[in-house]
Amino acid sequence: DAGVIQSPRHEVTEMGQEVTLRCKPISGHNSLFWYRQTMMRGLELLIYFNNNVPIDDSGMPEDRFSAKMPNASFSTLKIQPSEPRDSAVYFCASSPTYNSPLHFGNGTRLTVT
């Protein structure tokens, strides 16, 4: 099992640019989560998908953030335009069913200058 795969591992971009983060969940997992981690705020949920459908996006900071899950094996998180305060580590995680532990990807470290 390859685990949850995220790309890129590191992203450095300038303020105002579009950033797209990608995630491939573990095959067969029905739930997918995007979290953001910073020293100040810890791990914060951005959005939760179940069976490819967004269930809870209350954590998405503002309209600059959008997420999609076009199929069971792929999800994207897009930030447009990016701002320095978006700098953080973004984790994608999946789980086989509701109430199961999460399996995290290696994360994408985003730096916006």
Partner 1 sequence: QKEVEQNSGPLSVPEGAIASLNCTYSDRGSQSFFWYRQYSGKSPELIMSIYSNGDKEDGRFTAQLNKASQYVSLLIRDSQPSDSATYLCAASSGGSYIPTFGRGTSLIVHP
4 conformational bin, left if phi > 0, alpha if psi -120 to 50, beta if neither = beta
Size of the site for partner 1 (CB under 8 A): 20
Q: State yes or no: residue 90 binds partner 1 (CB under 8 A).
A: no
Query: Minimum distance from CB of 80 to partner 1 (Å)?
Result: 25
- Contacts for 52-57: CB closer than 8 Å, 24+ residues apart: none
Among 42, 62, 70, 71, binds partner 1 (CB under 8 A): 42
Q: Which one, 80 or 100, has the nearer CB to partner 1?
A: 100
Q: State yes or no: residue 56 binds partner 1 (CB under 8 A).
A: yes
Q: State yes or no: residue 54 binds partner 1 (CB under 8 A).
A: no
Amino acid at 2: A
Q: State yes or no: residue 5 binds partner 1 (CB under 8 A).
A: no
SS3 of residue 74 by DSSP: strand
Q: How far apart are the first and last CA of the chain?
A: 36
* Residue 107: DSSP 8-state: -
Kindly list the residues in this chain that would bind partner 1 in the complex (CB under 8 A): 31, 33, 35, 41-43, 45, 48, 55-56, 91, 98-99, 101-107
